[in-house]
Structure 1
Amino acid sequence: MSNYLEIPDVALTPKCLHKEAMAYMLEKHRSSSRMSVETYPSRSFKEMKEEEYIQILKDKAGRRFEMYGTVGEFLKNLKIYSRFSESYRYFKTPNEPYQASPIIYYNLDNGEYIQKSDFYAVLQNIICLKLGNISVQALSIISVHLKNRESETSLELSRELFTLNSSQIIEKFKALAPEIWNDENSLRLKFLVENAFHDNLTAMPRLYLGNNYSTASSAIKSIQKLINNRRNLFDRTVRTVRMFEDGTERFVMKAELSDVTGDVSLKSDDKIHVLHTMSMQEVMRNYGHLNIEFIRYPVLRAKHRAVPIRKLGSVGPLDFYVLAVDAFFELFRSIILGAKMFQKIESFEEFSTSFREIEKDFMVECKTPFFIRHSLIEHMKLKMKFSSSRTAKEVRNAKKDGLTHQNLKNELKHLGLVDIFPEIEGHAEVVYRHVDSVKKEKFLRTCDLFDAVEQCQLICVLNRIPNLKIFLHNQKGCERFLGYECEHCEKEKDAQKSLKNLKIESSNASMLKQYSQPALSTPNDCEKCSESSKTLTETQSELKMSKDQLKEMEKKVLDTEKELSEVKKENEKIVQSEAKKTEELAEMKEELSKEKQKKREKEEEILKASKENEELEKAILKLTAGNEANENKIQKLLDGITNSSTNNQKTNQIDEKTIEESTSTTSVSSKNAPLVIDCLICSSQIKSGQEVIRCPLCKRRFHSNCAFKWRKDHTQCPACNGDLPGI
């Protein structure tokens, strides 16, 4: 039997592999990786390794593919993701051979079970191995018949094809399994026949079609015979219910339990997009007396997506579900790494506004696992669409020698995430430590950097939306979140520890009371009677003590359970209160951030105005100095005119005594040398062409820069100590 559980190479098709890969990749990554079947290399699929096809997808996707790791890692996760019963319905490949290997399930006694739909895949595998070199065309007809089997059909001999034209041959093929020929299948059959035949009466095309016809008809006839002879394998004779296992959690779908027990009230809480569950403890307590076979059904996950689970009894391609906690991670991975929403929006409020419309789908009050229809997740993603003119940056490649804690911080800055999440760098260290602890290779790679960037953003989102933290805790998703510390988990651990200590104390007190009871006296009539009476009395006493202790223990257990219930209620109130406070705190922080930004802008405006004022003061001083220089020139001209009119002989001479009286700092090197004046502030010479300022009282000159600096700290002239109103 085990030989028929693996899908033969001849049944594997590139179309199926491509559709499975597209479904696994993020929506934003699919457009760059799309290609038709015709773009695949001309070699047949069985001649080419799957890795080569995935390499083609990687080359077309470019740098976006780096988040999935190597080609081998992607293919490994893809095989986990795509192997589930009736996967052809989910990936919409009904006209292709079965691609997913059948799965063996076990009941609680380790008895082996196989899902009914998987048994048809086993039949396909048997046919492939028995017939050997079967063509893909013939296998497709057989597989579609297996998927759509409804009624037995009459079969014709292949030799009749030699007397028919292409249209008649097409009708003969359709007669093999009338139920399978929809528009798509009919078009495919027409393409097959006309390509091989072209209405040509030569023997080779007819022989090729005849072989396919003969193989398909023989196989279908064998299948019909096997099903009729082994009807017990296909008819449901045992009442079975899937028991889902997710870590230590065990639960069933209420809808499936309702179909078996007939208790319709179990479905009362279900909605069109939501299926509720019941824990196995509650199932055994209420329905354990019924003869139900529980089949262990593990919840499987690839790295980037959970494996879809079909609702039993449905046939539509949309009746596939995942756990709500998996829907949560898939949605936010699409938002963070696919749409890069937090790199594009201006404020977190933009995200909050969009998220409010779908937040109700993550039912915070539900404390048991529940399933969400996969189509609802796609609807959520559409609701989270937004318009933005900002361009998001791509995550850069990690260095060959690995990724460091500082590299992660630098990448968060590079992506612009610090703008919307100022606190995000504070989460980098703990996230880096956890990502490093689960790395697959010696050094952290680019795919690990993608994981770290995603986790840092998700922590920031959870801290700002307290209801999401409660949802994640109630759905047991905290431990799957790298670097995340759940305060609700810590409170529960503390409560359980307190309860355990209380039980130990109660047990010790009960034992102490048992051994402190006084011995009862017995009558001393005869020795044997006395002994018997004594034994009976002791036995009765011990029995009474045991009953009393049992009652006492039951009372204490009830009291403890009641106390625990009150503690839980109180804890829930505290959690809700803290959630509300956290939300208010987040709003206050956001308001404070806005106020700080406004304050920063005002300070910048004040600084700018101060600089402009300083420049203006300098300009005024320069203008003042220029005006004074012009006044001095005019005064000198007037003095020159006056002197020339009174005494023309003294025009070229300078009275040294007069010069010395006018300024004590002027020095003359010779009688005919130019006048030399020093600035009293800096004690350096005032040279020709330098800008000067003159005291309006004593007419003493100073460098303009020196006077400006002096005026900042003094109001008196350094020469005459008079007020300087004019400077």
Structure 2
Amino acid sequence: MNLNSPEAVLSPECVLLTTLNYVLDDITAKMTPDLSKFKAPTSYVKDKGEELVVRLFENSNLSLRMYGSSEELAENVKIYRSSPGSGLYADANGYLLYPYYTTPVIYRSLKDEQYLCKSDAYIVLQNLTLEVYPFEKPQVLRVLLAIFLRSQELKNLKRMEFLKFDQKDFASIKKEIEKEIKSFGTDPAEFFPMMAEITNLAFPDLHLRFKNLVKVDWGEPEAAFFERILRRYVLEFHVAPNFKYLLTILYSTAERIINLLKKIIDNRLEIFLLGGPRPTVRLFEDHGGRQLVMKAELFNAINKPTNLIKNGFDEICFEAMTMEDVQKQFGDQIKDIEFIRLPILRAKDKAVPLQGPLNNREFFVLAIDAFFDLMRNVILGVKLFQKIPHWGVAEPICVSWYLAFKHEEKNPYFILLNELNSNLKNELAHLGLTTIFPEIQNHAKLVYSEVDKRKKGSVLRTCDLFDSIEQCQLVCVLEKCPKLKKFVHNQKGCSRVYALKCNECESKPKASEIQKTFEDLKITKETSESSKKAPEASPPLQKFPEPTITQKESKNCEKCFRTCEMLNEAKKELKSNENRIKNLEKKLSTKEKKLEEFEDQKQKIQEKEKEIQEKLEEIEQLKGKVEKSLKIAEDNGKLISEVTKLTDSIAELNEEHSKQTEKFLESQNQQFDQISHLEYELDMARQTTEILNQKILELENQKAENENWQAEKQNLHLEIQENRGKIKEFYDENIRMRTENEVNQRMIQQLLDKLSSATSSGNSYSNPPVATSGRDYSNPVNYRRPESLSSGSKYRSACSGSTYSNPGISKCEICRYELKSDDRIYKCYQCRCPSHTNCASN
């Protein structure tokens, strides 16, 4: 069963913030946590987020080159943030990382059984939900689910604990999620009541409505973080035609999924809550096969009071025990405990934090890792030893470190990260390193050889130079502080300092010892040669004449007997001297061979010294290149400032252009409104003219009955003339407004030309389209005027088909007043409803 997320869950904010937390504080202070400055992607990124790290490199002003390439930094940051509880560690450091982004890990116990960290069970629950949910999963939904799961984790888990991994448990959880999500409806008719309620809310009320889905006490950071995500979603999708439906679906889906996950957690407390059939204790595995256990965690598992574990330690330190000592000391008391094997992870430049034994919001590292992290920050970050005038200023600071780094403690122990702070960032006068450490050049050769062995490329890089500087200063500090040197030895950290000479653990002879042995062998050779010449110069003892003394004479002559004894003793001494000479000759031959070997080694050392000298020259050249690069960086900074000024001026011009454009559009819209109004009045005037023409025709027909028809006809002719005058005024007004519109367009075009000539970026602006009504008002032919009245016969023929007749309907359809027989009546050409002529024209 795959416990990982089926899609990317690593946000750009997570990559940026964990990278800034990984690098030195002095570098972090010079960089901004604003993603918009790096043109970061808005969607989730791949496993390492290398693309964003590359952009960080480009904007770091070369300060990140001490970490190698961007790929190396991305890989190390991934290791640093991949431990269990990484999200809680981010919370403790003041920044929020949602959703869950770490990969759940299956651990093995000493009995080779599979175990899962209970905090990782919440990550698995998130990943299963994202895998099963078939629709779009916006960031708002992901973050809201992660905040809910994090709140449940903090509520149910107060410390780190493990559960025996059973694939069937999580398979049943997946089936339950699938079954519930299939029942989610997407019919718009189901959401109409909720849609009307949610979409009418102002944004603060909408934010509060979403927050109430997670029934926890929201802290200010969480509330602000979620508000930023929700606001971004609303601004992105509010222009969508179905935004109301999308927002309602989002709210409803989040509510249902949160209720579903709460139900799953409540029904499986053995997975998501503290407690289990057997207590579990972490067994930390370090380099060299060393296995460590936190005493506090062990005592808690065997129900021993934890106040017995300090033994004079400060509150920031927790003792550890090796597994061998645990087995010897506790024996049968640990037979029911499951020891979970966890490797101690280290990135290249920083140790990975470990969750505390009694509180999962406290984080620890091994004391030796804390020491090296502190020294790296002091040497490369604060640059303390470059700023103080002499060693006497730094010595009290180093003495204060003895409180945390105990040289008398031989057992390993852990240090609380949250309390390990130092006040070493004072701005002091810059001095060279040789003022503080005059012996630093003595360590350069050994450090260089080790750095050269460990380099990743074919040549040394900037990061290798920083490693060399750090190691040289570290050796000098340890040589000046014997207690810190003893601490490093007791905590098994001597091998991590390249040129450290530790008499207690050193196995290979250093160059100075080889030189001393060479001198001793030289003296031994001279002594052996002189001893060899001495017996050759003396007369050989074996050629002395042996007196023949009989037994009888020896008995009779006491003096001869004594002489015989002396002779025998001389013979014995001679044999022993011969044996000694042979042994000395053998030793001499072996010493000569060793001498030849040491001469070869001396020759090799001289060759290495030459190589080191050449490498040192290369380092000097690299320093020169670095200085040139720094000068180039300064020039780039100046160019960037100039570009920034130009950008600001362009922004001001753009702002002015936008204001002018808005004014032009407003005036243009007003003119369009006036033109449309005039067109409407023109149409009404035409309709009135047609009505009057029809009325004239009607009156021509009634000429025989009405004696005053000529006077009425004259009045109608006058009205027609007035309407023609109005039409002419409308036409003149329209031409004037068109002329003003063209003048405004010419002014806008001149502003655009000035703006395009002021900018260096070559931005082009297109003229706003001139809105037209589809009619050419400059051509008077398009205005229809009533035809001139012709002879009486024409009027009489038209009156017979006039629509201005009383249709017998008693009310006007517009004013609802009664129609009289002598009123002018107009029938609508669509619905044929009668109305007063004046009502229709108005």
The 1:95/1:418 distance shift into structure 2, 3 A limit, reads closer
The 1:29/1:201 distance shift into structure 2, 3 A limit, reads closer
What secondary structure is seen at the aligned counterpart in 1 of 2:256?
helix
Q: From 289, 292, 308, give the equivalent of 2:337.
A: 292
Alpha-carbon separation, structure 2, partners of 1:202 and 1:457: 61
Determine if the alignment matches structure 1 residue 310 to structure 2 residue 355: yes
Supply the RMSD in Å over aligned alpha carbons: 2.8
Instruction: Output the amino acid matched with 2:338.
Output: E
Q: Output one character per residue of 1:649-705: Cα deviation in whole Å (capped at 9) or x when no partner.
A: xxxxxxxxxxxxxxxxxxxxxxxxxxxxxxxxxxxxxxxxxxxxxxxxxxxxxxxxx
Alpha-carbon separation, structure 2, partners of 1:197 and 1:27: 36
Instruction: Output the amino acid matched with 1:105.
Output: Y
Question: Cα distance, 1:159 vs. partner?
Answer: 5.2
Question: Cα distance, 1:195 vs. partner?
Answer: 6.0
Alpha-carbon separation, structure 1, partners of 2:323 and 2:403: 27
Alpha-carbon separation, structure 2, partners of 1:296 and 1:85: 14
Determine if the alignment matches structure 1 residue 244 to structure 2 residue 288: no
Q: Which has the larger radius of gyration?
A: 2
Alpha-carbon separation, structure 2, partners of 1:70 and 1:194: 36
CA contact (8 A) 2:316 2:416 kept: yes
Question: Cα distance, 1:6 vs. partner?
Answer: 5.0
Determine if the alignment matches structure 1 residue 279 to structure 2 residue 322: yes
Determine if the alignment matches structure 1 residue 323 to structure 2 residue 366: yes
What residue in structure 2 maps to residue 335 of structure 1?
378
Determine if the alignment matches structure 1 residue 136 to structure 2 residue 139: yes
What residue in structure 2 maps to residue 418 of structure 1?
434
Alpha-carbon separation, structure 2, partners of 1:145 and 1:328: 37
Question: Cα distance, 1:422 vs. partner?
Answer: 1.8
What residue in structure 1 maps to residue 16 of structure 2?
18
CA contact (8 A) 1:144 1:180 kept: no
What residue in structure 1 maps to residue 310 of structure 2?
268
CA contact (8 A) 1:335 1:341 kept: yes
Instruction: Output the amino acid matched with 1:244.
Output: F
What residue in structure 1 maps to residue 149 of structure 2?
146
The 1:105/1:219 distance shift into structure 2, 3 A limit, reads same
The 1:375/1:200 distance shift into structure 2, 3 A limit, reads closer
What residue in structure 2 maps to residue 119 of structure 1?
121
Matches within 5 A, 1:113-512: 113-132=115-134, 133-149=136-152, 160-164=193-197, 165-166=200-201, 169-179=206-216, 181-190=218-227, 204-235=242-273, 236-237=275-276, 238-247=278-287, 248-264=289-305, 266-269=308-311, 270-290=313-333, 291-316=336-361, 319-377=362-420, 379-380=421-422, 382=423, 384-390=424-430, 416-490=432-506
TM normalised by structure 2 equals 0.51
The 1:47/1:160 distance shift into structure 2, 3 A limit, reads farther
TM normalised by structure 1 equals 0.59
Q: Gapped runs of 5+ residues in structure 1?
A: 392-415, 494-727
What residue in structure 1 maps to residue 28 of structure 2?
30
The 1:169/1:33 distance shift into structure 2, 3 A limit, reads closer
What secondary structure is seen at the aligned counterpart in 2 of 1:488?
coil
Alpha-carbon separation, structure 2, partners of 1:47 and 1:81: 17
The 1:80/1:249 distance shift into structure 2, 3 A limit, reads same
CA contact (8 A) 1:95 1:143 kept: no
The 1:360/1:197 distance shift into structure 2, 3 A limit, reads closer
Alpha-carbon separation, structure 2, partners of 1:65 and 1:268: 40
The 1:419/1:262 distance shift into structure 2, 3 A limit, reads same
The 1:217/1:446 distance shift into structure 2, 3 A limit, reads same
CA contact (8 A) 2:389 2:429 kept: no
CA contact (8 A) 2:38 2:56 kept: no
What residue in structure 1 maps to residue 591 of structure 2?
none
CA contact (8 A) 1:94 1:147 kept: no
CA contact (8 A) 1:196 1:209 kept: no
The 1:353/1:432 distance shift into structure 2, 3 A limit, reads same
What residue in structure 1 maps to residue 541 of structure 2?
none
Matches within 5 A, 1:591-606: none
Question: Cα distance, 1:196 vs. partner?
Answer: 5.5
Q: How many residues align?
A: 459
CA contact (8 A) 2:140 2:233 kept: no
The 1:449/1:52 distance shift into structure 2, 3 A limit, reads same
Instruction: Output the amino acid matched with 2:269.
Output: R
CA contact (8 A) 1:300 1:307 kept: yes
The 1:60/1:73 distance shift into structure 2, 3 A limit, reads same
Question: Cα distance, 1:309 vs. partner?
Answer: 0.6
Question: Cα distance, 1:213 vs. partner?
Answer: 1.8
Alpha-carbon separation, structure 2, partners of 1:293 and 1:65: 43
Alpha-carbon separation, structure 1, partners of 2:232 and 2:383: 47
What residue in structure 2 maps to residue 56 of structure 1?
55
What residue in structure 2 maps to residue 4 of structure 1?
3
What secondary structure is seen at the aligned counterpart in 2 of 1:176?
coil
What residue in structure 1 maps to residue 66 of structure 2?
67
Question: Cα distance, 1:188 vs. partner?
Answer: 4.6
Instruction: Output the amino acid matched with 1:234.
Output: F
CA contact (8 A) 1:145 1:180 kept: no
